Chains A and B, each alone.
Chain A
Amino acid sequence: MNIPADLKYAQSHEWARLADDGLVTIGISDHAQEALGDIVFLELPQVGRKVKAGEECAVVESVKAASDIYAPVSGEIVAVNQAAADAPESVNLDAYAAWLFKLKPDNAADLDGLLDAAAYQSTL
């Protein structure tokens, strides 16, 4: 199971990466893509939408199931990965490269409340 040490994780299987520009990139973990199986559709949020931590803001659908994706921290959606939406299988190929959306966090320190790689590993 691939769980990069430099990312933060939510118990609901999203990963988050805080970049130097202050934006947070969000995707789903390798464990999540494997559990879902062949991913065929991504429903991504509107850019500009304000979301609260834990709010449903995207949907990943595989052949067998639809799964809600939750915002790991509160903030405003500033970008979505249209390339991934056009090729949903890219999430299966590399769940950490095929990010879903970026948000500008209300408070970057909120990321400290997420799990580190070791803590996420222990939930699996």
Chain B
Amino acid sequence: MFRPFFIARKNANNVTQVPMAKQTPLYATHLRLSGKLVDFAGWDMPLHYGSQVEEHHQVRRDAGMFDVSHMLAVDLEGAGAHDLLHKLVANNVDKLTVPGRALYSCMLNAQGGVIDDLIIYFFRSDFYRIVVNAGTADKDLAWITQHAGGIGVNVTARRDLAMIAVQGPNARARTWAALPGAEAASAGLKPFHAVWFDDALIARTGYTGEDGFELMIPAERAEATWNALLGAGVKPAGLGARDTLRLEAGLALYGQDMDEETSPLEAGLAWTVDLGAPRDFIGKSVLAGRRVERQSLGLLLIDKGVLRAHQKVHTAQGEGEITSGTFSPTLSRSIALARLPAGAAAGDTVEVEIRDKRLKATVVKPPFVRNGKILIEGI
């Protein structure tokens, strides 16, 4: 009966079907906490530890933590690091002048499609760290290494690191309670900045629409750090809650809301593309010369039901498609991100094909929720 969004990795006889699934340094911890493990991009990851919806509310109202060690940190070191990023990413790393400053960007192919979206942390013009998605990590590394050749950049995949995202209105305070010395190191940290804490990096970034930290720590200290956070009242949350939180926050997911066939200008990511600077980057000429015919907007379902990826959307301007859809625990309604024809606008009523019905939805401008507050009117 199941058409799951996340495909369970065990079959009916509990036999492992994918022999080579990778495990993070926190794998044993997830088992101990009764996490329901599923395959995600080749990794054994917790979908939830009991209730996805409760974990979602925990992050919106207090503090939750996610093991995101499946994502890959890559260090770029050497004299050519700045020039490499100038060429490889659509946002402009010249915006990064203060050590620790972070920048969100897409990395494009020559056709202007998105190879991956990533966060770049700046430390010096000869030292950056980027964090890329799990499912694209191998492809990204090959692409970056290919372009790093001969310009004096060492590319180091940091699989020796674990990453824990602590998110929620109380995330910072609870992190400080859990990790002695962390408050002194990070109390002054502004959003989208990071700071070294011994051999760990504390970044005030995340993927939930809430305040909080992303911690990059040596793998051998992952479990102790996780347990200290548990002791300080941070509750574990799985990939299920991570998905509903990011969707409420209007944050795009690679592979769903954009991919190698999608222009960032049609995926709601125009704000991350710097076409102005006299700088050439891969994909720029294509983006600059092409008309934008589609746009990413939010949908709020008026009728009862649940919006899902790939459902067809009928607008006055033509057909569109949902790229991510779910039931929003904060709104108690179904929401989606959809790629709609240019001209469709917030406030329009559209119809979504769900099985044999056409259900009414309102076009809205994401985000739906930020910092615990509902931002859509009429809810």
For residue B69, CB closer than 8 A to chain A, the reply is no
Known: A41-B305, A59-B355, A63-B327. A68 touches B240 (CB 8 A): no
Q: How far is the CB of B157 from chain A (nearest CB, A)?
A: 30
Which of chain B's residues have a CB closer than 8 A to the CB of A28?
Answer: 1
Contact yes or no, B355 A63, CB < 8 A? no
A120 to B347 alpha-carbon distance, docked (Å): 49
Residue of A nearest to B4 (CB): A65
Listed residue (B1, B51, B243, B308) with the most chain A CB atoms within 10 angstroms of its CB:
B1
Contacts of B244 in A (CB 8 A): 63
Most buried by A among B5, B306, B326, B334: B306
Contact B305 A63 (CB under 8 A): no
Cβ-based interface call for A67 (8 A)? yes
CA distance A61 to B311 in the complex (A): 15
Q: A13-B1, A65-B4, A67-B1 are in contact. Are A124 and B52 (CB under 8 A)?
A: no
Query: Which chain A residue lies CB-closest to B14?
Result: A124
Instruction: Report the bound CA distance from A38 to B329 in whole Å.
Output: 10
Interface positions of A from 11 to 37, Cβ below 8 Å from B: 12-14, 28, 32, 35-37
Q: Does A40 contact B (CB under 8 A)?
A: yes
Determine how close the nearest CB of chain B comes to the CB of A9; give it in whole angstroms: 12
Interface residue tally for chain B (C-beta within 8 Å): 25
Q: Which residues of B contact A63 (CB under 8 A)?
A: 52-53, 240, 244, 326-327, 329
Q: Which of A32, A65, A69 contacts B3 (CB 8 A)?
A: A65
* Cross-chain contact A36 with B327 (CB below 8 angstroms): no
Let me know if B95 is at the binding interface, CB within 8 A: no
Q: Find residues 1-59 in chain B having any chain A CB closer than 8 Å to their own CB.
A: 1-6, 8, 12, 47-48, 51-53
Residue with the greatest number of chain B CB neighbours at <10 A, chosen from A13, A61, A64, A68: A64
- Show the binding face of B for A, using Cβ within 8 Å: 1-6, 8, 12, 47-48, 51-53, 240, 243-244, 304-306, 308, 326-327, 329, 334, 355
